[in-house]
Structure formats: structure tokens, C-alpha cells
Amino acid sequence: MTREKTDRQTDQNELEAELETHFKIIKSCSLETEDRETVLLAAKPESRYPYFYPRDVACASELLAYLSTSQYTFADDAYKLLGSIAKFVLKALRNDGYLGQRYALSGEEKSIYKQEDNNAHGMTILSYYLLTAKQRSEKIEDLDTFLKAIHCTAQYAIKNYYHSEINLFSSTTSIHESALEEGFSCWTNFAYLRAFCLLSKVNGELDVADIIPDKILLFESAFKHNLLHIMVSNRRFLRRIDQKGNYDFKPDFTLLSPFYFGFGKETRDYLDNSVDFIERQLWDPELGMIQRYLPFSGDKEIHTHAGNGPWLQYTAILAQYHFWCRNRSRGEELITLIDRYKNEKGEIPEHLSTCDRFNAFMQSEWKTGIDFSKEFDPHILQDDLDFDKILEEANNMHMAYNEVAKKCMIRDSAMEEGGYIMFVVPLMWSHVEYMKALLYKHGLYLNENPEKVSKYFL
């Protein structure tokens, strides 16, 4: 074996070891149900987020599909986890096709907010499972049940969230869980575009009777054509179009949605401009990395959980973009920044803030009740929401902030703002995006229209 081949094999072994470390952390954010299925949670069971979130899990499902068809030693474990979460979606899905914000292990809905992107995420999870099973030549039990569930989920979304007169899906909240996404958001609509592309791929690749109607299959092309044109102005993407048709030009991580959901090649010029705008506007001056949006806390739609600061999963996605663009040095800079804020176990938080910002948040927003009024704004809450669910969520928030103050505050006198805090450690989603960034770095991950990708592992 030549030295070059030896070095390459060593690099591959080191990459696999690092990926497996993150995969184990992801699995630590899961629990086994009574029927011996594993449910993937947003964070560890004792954390701020002890629930199954379709959004977070859909983001993980793409990675699990990739890993399941890889040569890595944990490929079978990844496939087993992907199958478990797909079965849980079947359990959580309402008879009419509705899927909510989050669920307990029992399958009981624990949603607080109206959140219309979740049907897209449910379709995504189910589709990735079926396509991965097909690629692995695995037997799919109750295939018709899965196909009917995808059809039902798609139908519900079109009937209840789609506005045919403008060819867009509406939302009250979505990824940020606040009303700043009300209207027609970039994130929600590109999430649906990926979901319908995957649905078409399922229909084309699985040798089954036609369960999904042609009407739904044809929907994708018209929706895509419109979306790639309407969600753009000044040669970059918009955060949203509000209910009155006004363009929202504010900086937001979600301007990366077209790339994130697999449409990078088709939107490259607009994405380059959007990324330049994001990095200039959202860069945190003290901690580095990108914030999710600008923290104008006087706006009731702006939530600053534990104080504003950079979000690590979004920074990892930005690193993915730079690796994909072959801007390797910038990608590595971003990964190095994330590495700086891992804890002693190698775990990555959801977001960071400075000690001064955290203390200011506790005094000016939490103890005054302002944050509570933002979080539980009646306008964005589920209809007829049981007040017990509000109390449960408020208690989770209270415990999380106390834990930050006691365990997750890292004092550093050299820092202008007194050090930093880590919020929710580990966050499952942060490790998912970090793993994807590593794969992009090594040229092992694609950014393709999901309908066109024939294999996840190349």
C-alpha cells in the first residue's frame, strides 16, 4: 500500500471515529418506548426539550438515511433508528393527516404553538425511511400504511395550509416558534418543496400500486417554479412575505433554507448573496458565529431565550455551505469556533449567550414576565390549548434557566461580557448538523434536489 493510500485510509478511519462519537451523543437524546421502539428527542430526556419534534427529527432523518447506506460500522444502528422514528410518526399522525409541533413518548401531542411546517417534516421522515429501506433491500412491513400516511399528510397540508392563488404555504410559526414567521416563510415553503420532491421519488422508486394520486404528484412542479421566483428580491432570498404581501428583508438564518433543503445548485447566485448578507448582519461580535436573527428584544415577536447569541446548529449549516462552495478555509474557521464551545464531553449546545446578556435577560424579561408573555402570546398558541401544557412548558423553562445559572455558566474575566453560557447541552440537532458539516468537508455529502439523488452514500 502506498503512503498516499495509507494516509487516506487513516483520514477515513479518523473521520469515522469522529462521526461515531457524535452519533452516540445523538442516540443519548433518545428513549425506548413500551413497544421497544426508540424515539429520538430534541435533547436528553431530563432537558428543556424532552419531546419528539418533527422538525428536529426530520433534519436528523436525512443524515440517518445517508449513514444507513454507508460503509460505516454504525450503519445498521442508524437504519434501526430511522425506522423507529418513522414508526413513531405513524403513531403521532392524526387520522386526518395533521402533525403537530411536538409529542411525548406515548404519542400524546404536546404542542404549544400553531406550526404549519410539521406536515412537511412528517412527509420527509416517512419518505427517507422508505427510500432507504428500498436502497438497502430491506423488507418494509405495512408498506401501504406508510404510503397512505404520506398521502394523507400531503393532502392535509394542501387543504389547510396551501394558498393556490399565490402558490405558497402559510405559517403562523415554524422554526423560530414566534409570529415573526407569520405569513409565507422561506423555511416553511422550502421544507414543503423538499417533502414533495421526496414524495415524487417514493412514487417513482417503489414498485407499488398507485396510492398517491397524480394530482399531488403534479403539484410539485408548479409549486417549485413559483417558489424559486417569488421568494426572491434584490438578488437574494426573503425571510418571508407577510399576510399583506409585504416583503420581509430582515436578516435571518432561514435565508439558507434553499440550500439546506437540497436546492443549492438551482439557487446558487441568490444563495451567495444571502450568505454574504447573513454573515455581515448576524455575526456575534463577542462570541463569533451567527445568531438566528437580530435580537431586537422590544419586539414581542423576538424571543431571546436565556439571552441572545449564536446558534451552533445554524453555524454548522453555514459551514456546510462554505464546504459545499469549496471555500474550505471559511468552513474550517466556523467548525473551529463550534469546537471551542463544546463541553468536556464533546457535547454541543443549542445556543450561547454571554454572562452579562443572560443576567440582563433574567432581570429584564424573565423576572418581569415579559418573556412569558412573548412565549405564550395567545395569537400563536394552539386553539383551545390546555393551560396545564402552558404550565408544563413554563416549568421546563424555569428549570432550564436555573440549570444555566448553576451549571452552564463559564466565567472568563478576559471576555468583555464576563464569560458565556451554554443553553441546552447537548442539542441533538447541533450534532446532526456538525456531522453533516464534517461530511461536506470531506466531499462525502451532496446538496442535490432530493428527487434527483439516486444514492445517499457516494
How far is residue 136's CA from residue 80's CA, in Å, rounded to a whole number? 12
Is-cis flag, bond preceding 349, omega within 30? no
How far is residue 39's CA from residue 57's CA, in Å, rounded to a whole number? 10
Cβ-Cβ contacts under 8 Å for 295 (sequence gap 6 or more):
302, 304, 308
Would you say residue 300 has pLDDT above 90? Answer: no
Give the model's pLDDT for residue 37. 87
Cell of 318: 453555514
What Å distances lie between residue 79 and 85, 97, 335, 416, CA to CA? 10, 25, 27, 46
How far is residue 386's CA from residue 382's CA, in Å, rounded to a whole number? 9
E-strand ranges in 291-408 read 351-354
Judge whether 266 and 232 are in contact, CB under 8 Å: no
Cβ-Cβ contacts under 8 Å for 128 (sequence gap 6 or more):
61, 62, 64, 65, 82, 86, 198
State the pTM of this model: 0.96
pLDDT digits (tens, 9 = 90+) for 115-167: 999 999 999 999 999 999 999 999 999 999 999 999 999 999 999 999 999 99
The Cβ-side half-sphere exposure at 177, using a 13 Å CA radius, reads 17
Cell of 384: 383551545
Q: Where are the domains of the chain?
A: 3-441
Mean pLDDT score, 180-186: 97
How far is residue 328's CA from residue 263's CA, in Å, rounded to a whole number? 20
Judge whether 79 and 132 are in contact, CB under 8 Å: yes
Return the amino acid letter for 253: F
Average pLDDT value over all residues in the chain: 94
Closest C-alpha to 167, from 244, 121, 224: 224
How far is residue 141's CA from residue 327's CA, in Å, rounded to a whole number? 44
Would you say residue 6 has pLDDT above 70? Answer: no
Please state which of the four CATH numbers 1.10.357.10, 3.30.720.210, 1.50.10.10, 3.40.50.170 is assigned to the domain occupying 3-441: 1.50.10.10
| Residue 411 DSSP SS3 | strand
How far is residue 247's CA from residue 240's CA, in Å, rounded to a whole number? 6
Give the model's pLDDT for residue 454. 47
pLDDT digits (tens, 9 = 90+) for 336-382: 999 999 999 999 999 999 999 999 999 999 999 999 999 999 999 99
In the block, which residue shows the cell 399583506? 244
Q: The sheet that has 419-423: what strands, in order across it?
A: 351-354, 419-423, 409-411
Judge whether 250 and 312 are in contact, CB under 8 Å: no
Return the amino acid letter for 151: H
pLDDT digits (tens, 9 = 90+) for 86-111: 999 999 999 999 999 999 999 999 99
